[in-house]
Structure 1
Amino acid sequence: MRLTSKRRLYHFTKTRLSRLKSASFCTSAENDAAAEEIAAILEKKDWKRLLETTSELKNKLNPETVHSILHQSSVRDPKRLFNFFNWAIHQVPNPQNLDSFSFLAIILCNSKLFRDANMVLDKMVQTRRPVQAVLASIIRCYKEYKGNDAGVFEILIDCYKKVGSWNNAVYVFLGAKEGGFLPGLVCCNNFLGDLVKFNKLDLFWKVFDGMVDAKLVPDVYTFTNVINAHCRVGDIEKAKRVILEMEEKGCTPGLVTYNVMIGGLCRAGVVDEALKLKKSMAEKGFAPDAYTYNTLIDGFCREKRFSEAKLMMTEMRRAGLNPNHFAYTALIDGLMKQGNVVEGFRVKDEMVARGIKLNVFTYNALISGVCKAGDLEKAKALFNEMVWIGAEPDAQTFSILIESYSRAKKIDKAYELLNEMKRSNLTPTLYTYSGIINGLCHCGDLERANHVLDAMVEGGLKPNLVIYTNLIKGHIQKSRFEEARRILDRMMEKGVLPDVICCNTLISGLCKAQKMDEARSCLVEMVDRGLKPNAHTYGAFIHGYAKAGEIEAVERCFKEMQNYGIAPNNVIYSELINSHCKAGNVTEALSTLRCMSEQGVVPDVKTYTVLIHGLATNGRINDARDVFSQLHGKGIVPDVFTYTSLISGFCKLGDMKAALNLYKEMCQKSIAPNIVTYNTLIGGLCKAGNIEKARKVFNEISQKALAPNTKSYTMIIDGYCKSGNLTQAFQLLDEMPSRGVPPDSFAYCALVDGCCKEGKLEKALSLFYEMVRKGFASTTAFNALIDGLCKSGKPNDANGLLEDMVDKCITPNHITYTILIDHHCKAGEMKEAENLFLEMQRRNLVPNTVTYTLLLHGYDRLGRRAEMFALFERMAANAVEPDEIIYGLMTNAHLKENNLIGNLKLLDEILVKDVVLDQKWSSLLLDAVCKREEFSEVVKFLDEMAEQGLRLSPVTCHKLVRSFHDKGSLEKAEQILESLVQFGWVPNSTSVHSIIHKDHDDANSESPGNFSKQVTFGVAC
């Protein structure tokens, strides 16, 4: 087989070479002689047989000979010349001269053989010679041959149009015009119409301008094309001006003109104006046709004005016109896009009842609608129905279904449809592949998504921006940021430039992952590419910084976006309010709401909810209630999240009456509580000790067709445990698995804690080891057990449990150690307590105020005040702030040690920090200073403080002077003041009178809980 093929190839090559040789060595004289001889034979009817049997003459045939025959035109029959030329093309291996095509086309046009001329010029275009050379040849030959029909130029334009060479077609038109051969008005109008149809509007205006330049008078078809061109780009005003121009020039618009204008108005969304134009055309004697009505029906559907679309359909029938597929499909498509599936199928049934057979476009509209509604079974049923009635599914049908199954994460079904599509000889489109890739990315199957991308490229399709953006988003959702960046780089290498949405996808993902520096780099690159960030861009940054608690960065971003001229929207303002609330800046949050309204941005329910939640979380429940009232006043309906936020605020404050009233109100307003609402109420009621009401609310969850979740069970179990009802708590724990709710560590912790408090340590240990087996044993459960063992007098077991805790790789926390330290301190075992204190620090656990308080209490009980003073100093060195309890303990210690300087230093520290100290200790402190038996000792101690470089604050100095004055000793008060002035602790201008007067004013302005007032009151007593 291969040998035969090689022999044939050899014979064919040899023949071509021999012909090429004979053609190459023919002289001009020989060509002319051969041309005359062939021309003579062409006069005979059996010319083809004669030429084919005369091998010598046939061998002399070459492009020059053919050109000579055509150029001499000695053959009188143009049709025979045409047949000869077609025969010669297959005999001569070399391409024919362009002039041969030109002469023959002109001869045929002169003889009105336009169909044959068209075939010749088609072959001429197929030579792929430059259009400049083609046009130059025709113009030259036309002038030489004296062509009498310029139709040859019109045919050439059509030939280029047929192969989609629009630029070449326009070149021929303009070139012919410049050469003095203007195509006719019909050709020009058809050319304009085609250019509009294929959206080649730049070329359209070149042709139109050429017509105007050539003084070619436009007719109604020309004007209609111009109107259509303006409408295509949405320039309705210019289109309307063309209609006025027509009328001014005496060119009456026709029905087609009006229909084009109505179509443009409908696409621009001004259907009412289109309706007025319909009435106007009727007044001018033009009865609307089916196209007019169909266009208006489609226009009304686009604007979701379905009742008017139906009225238009009724009017259409009254006019004797039957709505067709287009009208019904437009109505069905509009209804489906609005989500009105039931009405869409009613229109389908009406369509069938009227005998209109559904086509693929109607089915596509129906399938798309039910897919958007999530009813994939109905979509597949429609697909089967259309196959059954013979409406063959097209690529769009398959693509809609494939995209919908992919979005529903039914990837295997999507692949089945893709294979079926290929078996039906339908080529998958960009939309098809985009749907599958998007679905795979949503499922996290990025490997298969990349395979689909490769298959798509192998199939000759170029991935677009949407596909690349989905891939980037998929990788970001998997935290594969480097791969996402590589995809971005790859798409740019392929010539697909990212848009703002694509960049925002990457920036948003980075911000959510708290990679703010990388996100900022992406923003810089985005701006460098000439893309302008929008509200979504900055919204991502503001959310990211707010999540990280960087309020200054949030405000900086907010100002930056305003400087860019980007107006913040509701989402941005809501995020800003939320970040202020999280930082505790509720005043700024309220100010932001006011600013928002001043900027013309109307707060929505989400904005108000964010603010109410923030205020409630910060304990500003009255402000939250005021904002809630403001929301009502604006006519905004609060949703379940608004109510839940406010209910949560009242629950945190223990105002369960107000919380339950809000719950009742929302139910009365048909705002269904969600599981978060119920959990909030259960938690609040349990905290308030109202376990019976909490159980009632818990039971209501199931009555409202909701299912209790893990948190619901955990809170009610914890409530029962705290109320001592372990029986109910364990019943609920047993119920959880049967309701499909797995118990978590929090539920077990609550039960462990409850058992410990009830003294059921064995049950608590059993639960704990069950937690260990299930793999969620926690530090909290350990702490509850250790606390229970300590309180039950089993400290050795508690210590053993601590060692067990470490062995099981469960890290003890500061609470663990604080519990054990508390037990040893109460037992007077300070050595053990000290060891635990040191051990917790070796584990990098920072003792808190409670830990220090327990140790100080322990030392105090044993009278070991030196250790107390040392521990207090260590506490200060470790930057742990003492509270009023610790200050009380230290005050007592200093008093017992009769340490006046220590008392003064402590008094000074308390007053400077404005600590609200118990009245007993504040009185004793000042009494210790002022009730010294020898006044000289007080002065002496003050001198010693000054010599040691210590100083008292102005506040403490004033209290000393005031205390001596209030005890009736003005002289001592003045002496103390003199020393204080001498030490430079108070200004020289200070007098006893000014101190007394100032303290009196301060006392009137301060609250009763202020320590300064307590001190004065205590000494006076």
Structure 2
Amino acid sequence: MWRLSGRKLLLFTDRNGLKRIRRLNFCSSQNEDSAAIQEEISNLLQENNWMYLMNSSDIPKKLNPVILRSVLRKSLLLDPRRLNSFFNWSSTHIEMGNSQNYLECSAILVVKLCNSKFYGPANDLLYQMLRTNLQPSEILKYIMCPFNEFEGSNSVVFELLIDMYKKMGRLKDAMKVIDETKGHFVPSLLCYNSLMNDLIKANMLEDFWKVYERMMQEGICFDVYTYVNVIRVFCKEGNVKEAEKVLFKMEQEGYKPNVVTYNVIIDGLCRVGALDEAFEMKNSMAGKSLVPDGYTYTILIKAFCKEGRTRDVKSIWVERGHELLDDMKKKNLTPTMEIYDVIIIGLCRCGDFSRANQFLEEMVAKGLKPSSQTYTALITGHSREGRVEDVKMVLERMLKQGIELDRFCYNSIISDLCKAGKMTEARTFLVEMRERRSAHLKPNAFTYGAFINGHSKAGEMEDANRYLREMLDHGLVPDVYIYTTLISGLGKRAEIDKAFELYDEMCSKGVNPTIVTFNVLINCLSKSGDVERARKMFDSIPGKGLVPNNVTYTTMIDGYCKSGYLTEALNLFTEMLSSGIQGDSFVYSALVDGHCKAGDMEKAMSLFQEMVQKGFATTFSFSTLIDGYCKFQKLDEVKHLLEEMVNKGILPDHVTFSTVIDYYCKAGFMEEAKMIFLEMQKKFIMPNVVTYTSLIQGYNRKGNTSEALALFAEMKTKGIQPDEVTYGAIFDAHCKEGNLTEALKLRDELVVTGTSLSNNMYATLIGGLCEIEEYSEALRLLEEMEKQGLKPTLDMCKTIICSCHGAGSVEEPRQVFERMVGLGFIPNTTTLNDLVDGKQSDADIEDSNNLLKQLA
């Protein structure tokens, strides 16, 4: 071990020419009296009853700091522990405080104690020295003087100083000791490892690397613990590849990694989401004759159970965690409460409550007490699914276990139920809170806010407002979040005036709006098409002491784009960028969409390319541009964009594929449409009702009704619910095939299920019935339309009458005509000849209706 370079004793000559040995920082006037006292003290200290002897003498009266320091310095043969006791005894007879004398005496003793390897008392003295709050450089000056003076001083004193600073949490000061002793003292590997470990715990990673560099400069050879520390820091920084390189280097240098080393890397891999690699690392331990311990399994199980954003993905990882738990049991490793907690929480998040409860029972059977976190996970999982009875069972279990239910617990349940739209169920827990009549269970603003948020998102503004009034009645003050939620709900219902009334009420109560409030109001106005008023709101933001953010600009720009004010949108976008707010995928998508709808594909493509360069391109932006080119029948551009999506690793979605399929179908390219249809399914993107309807309509136009009907049957088999447009296309297909029986059968199915037929569906059926001269059935459908509140068009009436007339019947068309006039389907100013001769069409319907109103 290195030590500080010694300082030579300096010789000073007095005026009388006498030479005296004198030490820097230990100057004292030595006269005969003090010398005699020092000698007397030294002699007494050699006696076992020294304290009694001194107390019986006049030494306490003669003692002073200079004599004390001299005794401590010169008593070379005495046990340092006795000197330490003498120092403590002296402190009761002379005033020392935190003076220079006290620090000099303490430093002398610390060095002597370390030289004799009495580290405990030395530590105690160092602690008292550091409590003076002097800088490390000052403390070092006091220690270095006696260290250099005494022969064979032990440099461990500096390691003790570093260690004491660490224990006091003063890691920066510990590092200063190392820095200020550079070139004189080299800490041991043990000292370095300990300091590095503490720096890691304090997350002082920058300082860790400084210590690492110092070790490298001093040529200190690393051991297993050093390597583990370096690996741990690389993992904390997310640089697992470098950590693995250190592991490899460690093995090359002959150091065998232990279980701790592997655990550190496995934990690092889990932190960056590399769970497969972490699992492989655990399996590779067997090849090194290492057995994973309980902590290894805990790391992996926790990571697996927390992984996965969607329920399906999470379920896979939780299964892996479950397998690890089984493996752990086979190795006779006892799962901890923490492991059971994460497994149960993971299963709850997957919705697998049955197995979660099984693990809960197993946990209790092993004598492990479930934590409040475990119960919270079960409650949260059940409440999100609206499983009220299960929530109550868990609550009862908590009560039996002595876990007191608080407002936080109830609020969590209510909040989750409200988020799941289970408002009635949430209400039962609000009632229960009130029935308990406990001050700590009294509903607060958060409780009511959950109900207001749930009803507002569901568009149930009357209920939301009722909770607001109830809240006010209980003396609770709504915060800006609650008001903003209500304003947003009113805006979604296009109740703009009410939204602004609430905004005014909020301001009048002294509740200041946030930028989120302004964003909501601007969005309400923009979606209603009132962009001028929205812009006024936007411009008023600075006056409220607020600054528009990315969402504010994007909302306003989107409003401009949707209303066709593209110049204003681009100007505001320029202002946004100049104010230091970066654009994102949302604002670019709004601009691209606006220009596509306006037919300015050149500008849309320019903005899109800018998006791509900045890495903002998304599936939505690609789909928007593809839709624009499809409308202008730019097939080459569509193909190019699809290829670019694949090259950039951006997956098309339902919208992308459905847009392209719809374009091909309308253009009559059914083979290409079918190829895209099959391709999307290969990519596990299942077609929806829009996709199927486009294909069905396309095949209808090409006269391939059998393929259209086959697709209709396929979509029903897959559980995809047809919409009005789909049914209309199928009615058309049946009619074109002349299969009115199937068409009417389908119509009956819709009536039974309560599905309303549209005007177009009726028109198709009536046209088909007229072609096979089923006029009475066609007329019955007209009457059915009236009962359902639908108004047949003049063309539908004309179809029936003209079909009757064309079939050679004279009396029947007249009877049908008179009946239709009587039902009000045809204006009574219209004659039969007008219809038969084709003198009136849908273009005249408005004038005819106006005439009817005048006659009425």
Q: How far 1:438 sits from its partner (Å)?
A: 1.0
Larger radius of gyration between Structure 1 and Structure 2: 1
SS of corresponding position for 1:584: coil
- Alignment of structure 1 residues 97-176 onto 2, 5 Å: none
Which is bigger in relative contact order (C-alpha 8 A, separation at least 6)? Answer: 2
Which of 351, 356, 380 is the aligned partner of 1:368?
A: 380
Query: Which moved further from structure 2: 403-412 or 718-727?
Result: 718-727
Which of 536, 554, 559 is the aligned partner of 1:521?
A: 536
1:370-410 Cα distance to aligned partner (Å, 9 max, x none): 54577666545433433343333332221111011122232
Which of 187, 191, 201 is the aligned partner of 1:262?
A: 201
Which of 554, 570, 577 is the aligned partner of 1:539?
A: 554
Q: Distance in 1 between matches of 2:477 and 2:266?
A: 36
Residues 658 and 690, structure 2, Cα contact 8 Å, conserved in 1: yes
Which of 410, 415, 429 is the aligned partner of 1:403?
A: 415
Q: Find the counterpart in structure 1 of residue 730 from structure 2.
A: 716
Q: How far 1:655 sits from its partner (Å)?
A: 1.2
Q: Find the counterpart in structure 2 of residue 509 from structure 1.
A: 524
2:574 matches 1:559: yes
Residues 224 and 257, structure 1, Cα contact 8 Å, conserved in 2: no
1:117-160 Cα distance to aligned partner (Å, 9 max, x none): xxxxxxxxxxxxxxxxxxxxxxxxxxxxxxx9xxxxxxxxxxxx
Residues 782 and 792, structure 2, Cα contact 8 Å, conserved in 1: no
- Alignment of structure 1 residues 577-976 onto 2, 5 Å: 577-598=592-613, 600-739=614-753, 741-779=755-793, 782-790=794-802, 793=805, 824=837
Residues 710 and 741, structure 1, Cα contact 8 Å, conserved in 2: no
Q: How far 1:647 sits from its partner (Å)?
A: 0.5
Q: Distance in 1 between matches of 2:506 and 2:748?
A: 56
Q: Find the counterpart in structure 1 of residue 305 from structure 2.
A: none
Q: How far 1:329 sits from its partner (Å)?
A: 5.3
Q: Distance in 2 between matches of 1:245 and 1:377?
A: 62
SS of corresponding position for 1:590: helix
Q: Give the counterpart letter for 2:488 in structure 1.
A: K
Give the alignment's TM-score, normalised by structure 1: 0.50
2:584 matches 1:572: no
User: What RMSD, in angstroms, separates the aligned Cα atoms of the two structures?
Assistant: 5.3
Q: How far 1:764 sits from its partner (Å)?
A: 2.4
- Alignment of structure 1 residues 994-1005 onto 2, 5 Å: none
Query: Which moved further from structure 2: 652-661 or 408-417?
Result: 408-417
Q: How far 1:260 sits from its partner (Å)?
A: 9.9
Residues 437 and 471, structure 1, Cα contact 8 Å, conserved in 2: yes
Which of 288, 308, 314 is the aligned partner of 2:295?
A: 314
Alpha-carbon spacing, 1:378–1:658, altered in 2? closer, same or farther (3 Å): farther
1:629-660 Cα distance to aligned partner (Å, 9 max, x none): 22122222222222111100001111111111
Q: Give the counterpart letter for 2:533 in structure 1.
A: E
Q: Distance in 2 between matches of 1:371 and 1:562?
A: 44
Q: Give the counterpart letter for 1:597 in structure 2.
A: V
Residues 409 and 443, structure 1, Cα contact 8 Å, conserved in 2: yes
Residues 445 and 476, structure 2, Cα contact 8 Å, conserved in 1: yes
Q: How far 1:802 sits from its partner (Å)?
A: 9.1
Query: Which moved further from structure 2: 682-691 or 475-484?
Result: 475-484
Q: How far 1:512 sits from its partner (Å)?
A: 1.6
Q: Find the counterpart in structure 1 of residue 433 from structure 2.
A: 421
Residues 200 and 233, structure 2, Cα contact 8 Å, conserved in 1: no
2:401 matches 1:389: yes
Residues 384 and 417, structure 2, Cα contact 8 Å, conserved in 1: no
Identity %, equivalent residues: 28
Q: Distance in 2 between matches of 1:316 and 1:686?
A: 60
Q: Distance in 2 between matches of 1:243 and 1:800?
A: 107
Residues 329 and 362, structure 1, Cα contact 8 Å, conserved in 2: yes
1:804-845 Cα distance to aligned partner (Å, 9 max, x none): 79x56x999xxx99x998965x7xx8xx99x979968999xx
Alpha-carbon spacing, 1:211–1:411, altered in 2? closer, same or farther (3 Å): farther
Q: Which runs of 5+ in 2 are unaligned?
A: 1-94, 96-126, 141-160, 182-186, 206-229, 238-242, 244-262, 283-291, 299-327, 852-856
SS of corresponding position for 1:619: coil
Residues 409 and 439, structure 1, Cα contact 8 Å, conserved in 2: yes
Q: How far 1:669 sits from its partner (Å)?
A: 3.0
Residues 709 and 733, structure 2, Cα contact 8 Å, conserved in 1: no
SS of corresponding position for 2:582: coil
1:183-231 Cα distance to aligned partner (Å, 9 max, x none): xx99x99xxxxxxxxxxxxxxxxxx9x999xx9999999999988xxxx
Q: Distance in 2 between matches of 1:395 and 1:296?
A: 41
Residues 721 and 750, structure 1, Cα contact 8 Å, conserved in 2: yes
Give the alignment's TM-score, normalised by structure 2: 0.58
Q: Find the counterpart in structure 1 of residue 488 from structure 2.
A: 473
Q: Distance in 2 between matches of 1:493 and 1:299?
A: 53
Q: How far 1:695 sits from its partner (Å)?
A: 0.4
Q: How far 1:274 sits from its partner (Å)?
A: 9.3
Residues 335 and 343, structure 1, Cα contact 8 Å, conserved in 2: yes
Q: How far 1:468 sits from its partner (Å)?
A: 2.2
Q: How far 1:738 sits from its partner (Å)?
A: 4.0
Alpha-carbon spacing, 1:555–1:694, altered in 2? closer, same or farther (3 Å): same
Q: How far 1:249 sits from its partner (Å)?
A: 9.2
Q: Find the counterpart in structure 1 of residue 368 from structure 2.
A: 356
Residues 752 and 784, structure 1, Cα contact 8 Å, conserved in 2: yes
Residues 446 and 474, structure 1, Cα contact 8 Å, conserved in 2: yes
Alpha-carbon spacing, 1:258–1:575, altered in 2? closer, same or farther (3 Å): same
Q: How far 1:763 sits from its partner (Å)?
A: 2.8
SS of corresponding position for 2:599: coil
Q: Distance in 1 between matches of 2:772 and 2:393?
A: 63
Q: Find the counterpart in structure 2 of residue 921 from structure 1.
A: none
Alpha-carbon spacing, 1:378–1:551, altered in 2? closer, same or farther (3 Å): farther
Q: Find the counterpart in structure 2 of residue 167 from structure 1.
A: none
Residues 713 and 736, structure 1, Cα contact 8 Å, conserved in 2: no
Alpha-carbon spacing, 1:549–1:758, altered in 2? closer, same or farther (3 Å): farther
Alpha-carbon spacing, 1:700–1:323, altered in 2? closer, same or farther (3 Å): closer
Residues 621 and 649, structure 1, Cα contact 8 Å, conserved in 2: no
Q: Distance in 2 between matches of 1:263 and 1:353?
A: 38
Query: Which moved further from structure 2: 399-408 or 354-363?
Result: 354-363
Q: How far 1:271 sits from its partner (Å)?
A: 12
Q: How far 1:513 sits from its partner (Å)?
A: 1.8
Q: Distance in 2 between matches of 1:607 and 1:261?
A: 44
SS of corresponding position for 2:467: helix
Q: Find the counterpart in structure 1 of residue 514 from structure 2.
A: 499
Q: How far 1:582 sits from its partner (Å)?
A: 1.9
Q: Give the counterpart letter for 2:449 in structure 1.
A: S
SS of corresponding position for 1:383: helix
SS of corresponding position for 1:357: coil
Residues 163 and 174, structure 2, Cα contact 8 Å, conserved in 1: no
Q: Give the counterpart letter for 2:724 in structure 1.
A: T
Q: Distance in 2 between matches of 1:325 and 1:352?
A: 10
SS of corresponding position for 1:559: helix
SS of corresponding position for 1:601: coil
Residues 304 and 334, structure 1, Cα contact 8 Å, conserved in 2: no
Q: Give the counterpart letter for 2:414 in structure 1.
A: I
Residues 341 and 374, structure 2, Cα contact 8 Å, conserved in 1: yes
Q: Distance in 2 between matches of 1:528 and 1:543?
A: 23
Q: Distance in 1 between matches of 2:456 and 2:568?
A: 32
Q: Distance in 1 between matches of 2:476 and 2:483?
A: 13
